Structure 1
């Protein structure tokens, strides 16, 4: 594991690393914020999954989350959104919503993407082990959150790994990828046309099929340009109601899909995770 950078930030340390991944078979980057309290004790950790087109750096540079992580004594772990490199397959049509920067946090089974696009395994198994073994964090107090595609990833992974992640939240998540253009394109490309396999990566389907024993916190801006076509929180609300799953859905009047919106409410989410774990 190679340290790429280090910056002092709100009394803590903002770090970036590069390592060879056994899941994606390609070097991966991830960013870590360690609060000052990590110098003397193990701290809880919040894993953040970013959205389409993002890298591991968007969240740490734009969300302003470090000040709250320092206040609550919480590490922040931000992985990349896909494998990258000249040998990694990309969208053959050059789209920004599939391929590089758009791994959708699934384990691809279709060629040529299966060779590297194993982001579900990377987030749910490889990265938590790496963090646990190399940083002063308490693995009994891991939580997860994310935005848009990353909100989809956070919700689906948390529901399937309740012993790994003790709490979950999401900003403007893609709630039902099986039923929206972004998700249908990605799931077809990565998993093939058998929609039965898509259910493992669809929050609404997972809530229906498995239920969920902990609270789901979802933030959504009312002026989000992707709200109706791509995000569909009303479908998640109905699925949770039918399955008797505890969902807190906060509609933020006038907010859009941007990091301005995330920065406005990230402190509330970090508090939620700090109090939940």
Structure 2
């Protein structure tokens, strides 16, 4: 099957799924154009265009001293200063399970605190930086806080899980063992060089990364004490998602998506479905968001391509909102510690996720992790 045929089927599938969900009526088929992310191609990653994404809203933390007590001003082993500044280091960490070095952007805690916050990227994660430092401003949002930001680089289409078979990326067979890396290998490095405790972490992500954050927290509650999900796909075993997720993955990687969890219906799909693991998440504080799929302040398309991308973003956010509502209904069947916030406007895009991270920081992350600036005094 040609790439153009698969792309047309993927786009048509988006429209059909959205129409069936009542998100759009009489929508034209999404064919012919090639969308790329706001950072990525329109997919279960994030929506946008091939042009640079609109800047995330400025966030100005109180106070101007970026390094008040000196816990950030030296390079750890395997690290160099990252161009995004704000004391972010770009570190190279060897992964035995993947048999190669993995890059991680790290911003040390302001006062040397032992809490960590893992920030997971979207489906089209790049190999040179984590989009939380470019399409959003995570390093500025937590600049004054006593928590170490941990931002893995790479892992496109991975869902941050351990794949059943190697992934073929451009003719290169690579082991994808991101769950092992994030829960067994990276914590040792962070403990040794950044003072992050293995059992004192939060985890957050958008879209693919949001779904993965919830799944990892459910499976590793000894590591993750809080989880934030922004526009995640919270029920990948729902009707239609068995088709949409593999098509979205193939659209990005031109690889075999069933090398991840096996064929649709295989047990590992359920193991990585947040809704099916709701019982394991009820004791973990969660901050979960989704937009309304109505264009908002960050959606001002000025070209035909941008209009197309906005339309895809509307559909993707509608799918996310539907699965988030289903997840909330399941969670609320018993007492839980989750906060659900539904934006009145907003599609699948980084401006909104930047706002979500700011809100999650204030509403839950700093409190749960005891990571306020004063916690360092």
What TM-score, normalized to structure 2?
Answer: 0.61
Residue 178 of structure 1 aligns to a residue whose secondary structure is coil
Of 317, 342, 356, the residue aligned with 1:227 is 317
Aligned partners of 2:164 and 2:259 also within 8 Å: no
Aligned partners of 1:240 and 1:246 also within 8 Å: no
Which residue number in structure 2 is paired with residue 103 of structure 1?
A: 158
After TM superposition, the structure 1 stretch with the greater mean CA deviation from structure 2, 154-163 or 240-249, is 240-249
Provide structure 2 residue ranges, at least 5 long, that are not aligned to the other structure: 1-76, 250-256, 294-312, 370-377
Of 175, 200, 213, the residue aligned with 2:271 is 200
Residue 115 of structure 2 aligns to a residue whose secondary structure is strand
The answer to whether residue 168 in structure 2 is matched with residue 69 in structure 1 is: no
The answer to whether residue 205 in structure 2 is matched with residue 146 in structure 1 is: yes
Hey, what's the Cα distance between the residues in 2 that align with 1:269 and 1:230? Answer: 18
Aligned partners of 1:51 and 1:81 also within 8 Å: no
Of 73, 79, 94, the residue aligned with 1:3 is 79
Q: CA separation of 1:43/1:67 partners in 2, compared to 1, >3 Å: closer, same or farther?
A: farther
State how many pairs are aligned.
Answer: 253
**Residue 261 of structure 1: CA displacement?**
0.8
Which residue number in structure 2 is paired with residue 14 of structure 1?
A: 88
Of 245, 259, 278, the residue aligned with 1:189 is 259
**Residue 154 of structure 1: CA displacement?**
0.7
Hey, what's the Cα distance between the residues in 2 that align with 1:111 and 1:178? Answer: 22
Of 279, 283, 295, the residue aligned with 1:213 is 283
Residue 103 of structure 1 aligns to a residue whose secondary structure is coil
Hey, what's the Cα distance between the residues in 2 that align with 1:273 and 1:36? Answer: 15
Aligned partners of 1:37 and 1:43 also within 8 Å: no
Hey, what's the Cα distance between the residues in 1 that align with 2:181 and 2:204? Answer: 16
Hey, what's the Cα distance between the residues in 2 that align with 1:110 and 1:22? Answer: 16
Aligned partners of 2:218 and 2:277 also within 8 Å: yes
Structure number with the higher helix fraction is: 1
**Residue 119 of structure 1: CA displacement?**
1.1
Q: CA separation of 1:134/1:239 partners in 2, compared to 1, >3 Å: closer, same or farther?
A: same
**Residue 104 of structure 1: CA displacement?**
1.0
Q: Within 5 Å, which residues of 2 pair with 1:52-131? A: 52-55=123-126, 56-82=129-155, 101-110=156-165, 116-131=175-190
**Residue 123 of structure 1: CA displacement?**
1.4
Q: CA separation of 1:14/1:32 partners in 2, compared to 1, >3 Å: closer, same or farther?
A: same
Hey, what's the Cα distance between the residues in 2 that align with 1:246 and 1:69? Answer: 23
When the two chains are superposed, the root-mean-square deviation of aligned CA atoms in Å is: 2.4
Residue 211 of structure 2 aligns to a residue whose secondary structure is helix
Aligned partners of 1:191 and 1:198 also within 8 Å: yes
Provide structure 1 residue ranges, at least 5 long, that are not aligned to the other structure: 83-100
Hey, what's the Cα distance between the residues in 2 that align with 1:211 and 1:45? Answer: 19
The answer to whether residue 307 in structure 2 is matched with residue 236 in structure 1 is: no
Hey, what's the Cα distance between the residues in 2 that align with 1:276 and 1:255? Answer: 27
Hey, what's the Cα distance between the residues in 1 that align with 2:146 and 2:88? Answer: 14
